Amino acid sequence: MFEGQPQEEIEALMKANTEFRQLYFRHRELDQQVNDAELGVLPIDDTRLGQMKREKLAAKQRLLEMYERTN
């Protein structure tokens, strides 16, 4: 998600901010689950998949807000 940003900045932010760290790992978890669901590896219904995508997007938006505030 932060491919264009220096990894050191992201790691420092994760160490300094527990909310950022938790959201970062939650976003990664949701990303994997959504990918698995879309591949058919994780059997879930469309309603749950939609909820997961919305939660993933909200986490991403919050992470980006937090990152931008530090720079």
* pTM: predicted TM-score of the whole model, two decimal places: 0.89
Phi/psi at 5 (5° precision): -95, 150
Instruction: Provide mean pLDDT across the span 9-21.
Output: 95
Q: Is 55:27 a contact under the CB 8 Å cutoff?
A: no
User: What percentage of the chain exceeds 70 in pLDDT?
Assistant: 100
Long-range pairs for 3-6: beta carbons < 8 A, 24 or more residues apart: 5/67
Where exactly are the structural domains of the chain?
A: 7-70
Report CA torsion sign: 66, 3, 10, 60. Answer: positive
In this predicted structure, which of 12-16, 43-47, 55-59, 67-71 has the lowest mean pLDDT? 67-71
Round to whole Å and give the CA distance between 14 and 24. 8
Query: What value does the mean pLDDT of the chain take?
Result: 94
